[in-house]
Structure 1
Amino acid sequence: MTDDNSIRLSRRKVLGGVGAIGLASAGAGLGTTAYFTDTESFTGNSLEAGDLDLFVHVDYSEDQGSYAQYSTPPGTFIDGNVVGGGDGEPISIQVTDLKPGDSGEGEFCFSIVDNPAYLWICGALTENAQNGTTEPEQDALEQQYDSIPAGGQLADAMTVTISYCTEQESDGETTTVIGDEIVSGSLAEVMAVLAAGVPLAGDGDADAPVANRPTFEGVDDETHTAETCLCFEWELPPEVGNEVQTDSVAFDIEFYAEQARHNDGTLNPCVDAAYSANYVNPDGIAQPIPNGVAHVDVAYGEEHVVYAITFDEPAGSQYSLADPNFASANFSLPFDVEDDGTYDFQVAWNVDGNDAFHYSGVTSAPAWAKDTAAGWSALPSGFTAVRFGSQAFVSVPRSELETGGNAYGFGFNASAGGEQPSVSIPTGGPYSSNANWTSSENSQPETVQ
């Protein structure tokens, strides 16, 4: 081939030529019935609901010296109560011949089959009985009380601690490692807290917020458990005396699981009624608390009605109602047993400026000039009140509220003192001319359920 017949193509011309050929090809294809086809199909489709089944593995033992040692059989577990499902099978542990110095411990581990879930623990003190008195018991009680209390003292004498824990294996042996403490105190105090519900964090962080907290992972079947467990320890301290002779206590513990998907974990399955109100920030204060809300949740137990008070406010707020170090902050729960517009008694925190709960009989609106000289006293037998951080729990015997029937009124009022923020939740009334204590027209008396 000579130079005259040579075809010289630059890269630009080559690409252009290929393009032309491609277009010609495409045009030819469109002009005929021949073309490429492809088909993908999806057959046999179905939708199936998932599962959420809670199993609680229980290990328990007690130390009563040479008298006895109770323990659950290896691998004991119960079919737990699942939100949206049926009640689980209960397991009962009974301790007899309890003496000062006795103790016990239990471990609860969880199998939430198939799906991760939020977990709650609930509880109730169902019995705190006196069961008569022996002579030494009567002598001890007469030294402490003006008259022999109808209820027992054992629930106040026993100490309980509930903590997160994990199991670790080393050299073929399993060791339980105690983690963050969830709640501790007397049995009466701990059961008052559990009655209002405690949200559990799947990573064992006791400071985790309630909303969107770490969940407990789902497992394949009930033989496998989540990494985080709960440990329950109790003791009747050696220094307890004759005042608890013949007494007996009984309590319930329940666990609830709720699927994590499409939920934030804030639904409390343990309470029966819930009230809330916004903080009132008077004009002129230096730093009003924005979006402060007080909640009062109510749980009706067989023997006690528990009120859980929560101050929901931004951390570090000035004039905080939740800060126990702010001496002028106080709050009170007054009760109108007959629902006749007159309060019969109230339970208040921060009497005389100390971090403690006191009791007073009242015949009109509560007075905030609270001191022991004005008639405030220690809580009567059967009442329990405890505070943890921004929460407080007040447990009132049902017998105190059923005196006038099954309907009664109660209120809640809190103040940081002076012209600082306050909050009020009235549920019946009106009870006084004070605007803070006058209920709305839609308010109804509480009913003991």
Structure 2
Amino acid sequence: MKKLLLSALSLGVVAVVAIVATQAFFSDEETSTGNTFQAGAIDLQVDSKAHYAGLVCVEGHWVQEDQQPPTTRPDLLDDPCGGTWNLKDLTIEKFFEYSDLKPGDDGENTISLHVYNNDAWGCVTINPTLNDDMSSTEPELEAGDTQDTDSIFDGELAQSMHFRIWSDMCSNTGLGAVPGDNIYQQGCDLLLTEGDGPITPRTWALAAPGLPNVFTGAVSAPLIGSNDYYLGVAWDIPTTVGNKAQTDKYMSDISFKVEQSRHNENFVCPVQEGFTPNTLRLENEQEVQGGPWNVIVDQKYVDMTYNSSGPTFDYTLVGQGLAASTQYSLIYYADGWPGNNPGALIGTHLSNADGTINTGPVINAELNMDLPTLPDGNYAIGAKIWLIPSSAYNAGTKSVTVWPPDFNTWFFEGNVYINYNDTQVP
């Protein structure tokens, strides 16, 4: 049987071969091989060179700057410095990091932006995170300053400093000007902004649809990939600044955003990265002594929409990660402790059994006050809004009664302060 099967198999194979061999259709074949779709890339890299008091930061040390008067800080010669680096992706770099500043001090950073691979729209945002009085010295108090509060925005240093930011692109042999020379040439370099240090987030378009490119002046012109673009950022503390700014500390985050320009005619720079106007994300946070608290990056948050002006404070809340089936109080926390300066209870809400919250239709709260309101220690910057368990709040005295908080189930302002104008209040 085995031999018969093998014989049959052999015959079958031969038969098949015979059939194939007898066919000879006319044919042609064209092949396109290796068809590929590959996404492009966009990468922004930044470099910086720091100047301070007639010194320049070179290879990590302060040296006397060429063709400049002798430094007013000879004590810093050869000392370590920051603020200077070659083109790179930013991680922990700081453009400015100075201590022991005095009236009359000044400095400048030349910042270079380089977009790789593709043309792009671009924006720069300065987000102040601290303008703190730190402590109250006797000269400060004698000058009329108030006693230091718990607020991290009760200082005067930011408002006392003078800043100028410009497109450092002037090329003029008669002026001896070249791009990136850290010298503002009025009428040749393009001024981006000038004034006191911002105490609220500010965003400027470097290149955006319908707006002049700050480096070239051309409207709706993107940043060209592989070109270098220079910004000058100068600062000084006028000699007229009085004692109120003693010990004050000013901190801010500086961020650059680029986005492809092709097929992106509706691009606009965000008011503040991650937020849209009249939306506030309340976050659980980690306390940092003497500085802005750190937002805990997780899936716990509450988004609040609100109106910035009107007879009532109109808001909604949608969020997750709250304590389950718990009564919460939405409060205006007015520094200092315990938040009743003057402070306000805005509303109370019960979380769901799964820890979510959704207040549904807009709620109209009668506050009968603006946010912020004096004597709030954050009056110069805005109002803190918190969502905390009602068991930790006394609505009668408008006071937080529990500290430290449960940072997993309390929701804070995320270092973003709001303003609301109650149109029924004179």
> Could you tell me the TM-score, scaled by structure 1's length?
0.50
Match of 2:222 among 211, 215, 221: 215
Q: 1:117 offset after TM fit, Å? A: 1.3
Alpha-carbon distance between aligned partners in 1 of 2:282 and 2:164, rounded to the nearest angstrom: 22
Identify the residue that residue 245 of structure 2 maps to in structure 1: 244
Q: 1:166 offset after TM fit, Å? A: 2.0
Identify the residue that residue 407 of structure 1 maps to in structure 2: 411
Relative to structure 1, is the Cα distance of residues 413 and 254 closer, same or farther in structure 2, using a 3 angstrom cutoff? closer
Matched position secondary structure for 1:160 = strand
* Residue identity matched to 2:376: P
* Residue identity matched to 1:158: M
Identify the residue that residue 273 of structure 2 maps to in structure 1: 271
Equivalent residues in 2 for 1:410-429, closer than 5 Å: none
Alpha-carbon distance between aligned partners in 2 of 1:153 and 1:180, rounded to the nearest angstrom: 29
Q: 1:48 offset after TM fit, Å? A: 3.6
**Does structure 1 residue 253 correspond to structure 2 residue 246?**
no
**Does structure 1 residue 60 correspond to structure 2 residue 50?**
yes
Answer yes or no: is the 8 Å Cα contact 1:117–1:215 preserved in 2: yes
Identify the residue that residue 7 of structure 2 maps to in structure 1: none
Alpha-carbon distance between aligned partners in 2 of 1:382 and 1:335, rounded to the nearest angstrom: 24
Equivalent residues in 2 for 1:46-445, closer than 5 Å: 46-63=36-53, 66-68=72-74, 76-80=85-89, 88=91, 90-140=93-143, 143-145=144-146, 147-150=147-150, 151=152, 152-170=155-173, 173-174=177-178, 176-177=184-185, 181-189=191-199, 192-194=200-202, 197-201=203-207, 205=212, 213-219=220-226, 224-226=227-229, 229-263=230-264, 264-266=266-268, 268=270, 270-274=272-276, 295-296=278-279, 303=292, 340-341=328-329, 343-344=331-332, 361-362=343-344, 365-366=365-366, 378=374, 380-385=376-381, 394=382, 396=384, 406-407=410-411
Instruction: Tell me the number of residue pairs that the alignment of Structure 1 and Structure 2 aligns.
Output: 300
Relative to structure 1, is the Cα distance of residues 331 and 233 closer, same or farther in structure 2, using a 3 angstrom cutoff? farther
Alpha-carbon distance between aligned partners in 2 of 1:200 and 1:331, rounded to the nearest angstrom: 37
Relative to structure 1, is the Cα distance of residues 216 and 170 closer, same or farther in structure 2, using a 3 angstrom cutoff? same
Matched position secondary structure for 1:230 = strand
* Structure whose CA Rg is larger: 1
Answer yes or no: is the 8 Å Cα contact 1:60–1:106 preserved in 2: yes
Q: 1:98 offset after TM fit, Å? A: 0.7
* Residue identity matched to 2:259: E
Q: 1:254 offset after TM fit, Å? A: 2.0
Matched position secondary structure for 1:166 = coil
Matched position secondary structure for 1:125 = strand
Q: 1:335 offset after TM fit, Å? A: 12
Relative to structure 1, is the Cα distance of residues 415 and 105 closer, same or farther in structure 2, using a 3 angstrom cutoff? same
Matched position secondary structure for 1:59 = strand
Identify the residue that residue 321 of structure 2 maps to in structure 1: none
Alpha-carbon distance between aligned partners in 2 of 1:126 and 1:304, rounded to the nearest angstrom: 9
Answer yes or no: is the 8 Å Cα contact 2:128–2:201 preserved in 1: no
Quick check: which one's helix share is greater?
A: 1
Answer yes or no: is the 8 Å Cα contact 1:78–1:90 preserved in 2: no
Alpha-carbon distance between aligned partners in 2 of 1:100 and 1:271, rounded to the nearest angstrom: 33
Answer yes or no: is the 8 Å Cα contact 2:42–2:116 preserved in 1: yes
Relative to structure 1, is the Cα distance of residues 182 and 397 closer, same or farther in structure 2, using a 3 angstrom cutoff? farther
Q: Which ranges in structure 2 are unaligned for 5 or more consecutive residues?
A: 1-27, 55-70, 286-290, 295-302, 318-325, 336-340, 347-364, 388-398
Relative to structure 1, is the Cα distance of residues 125 and 411 closer, same or farther in structure 2, using a 3 angstrom cutoff? closer
Q: Which ranges in structure 1 are unaligned for 5 or more consecutive residues?
A: 1-37, 82-87, 275-293, 312-320, 322-327, 348-358, 386-393, 418-449
Alpha-carbon distance between aligned partners in 2 of 1:43 and 1:334, rounded to the nearest angstrom: 59
How much identity, in percent, do the aligned residues show? 19
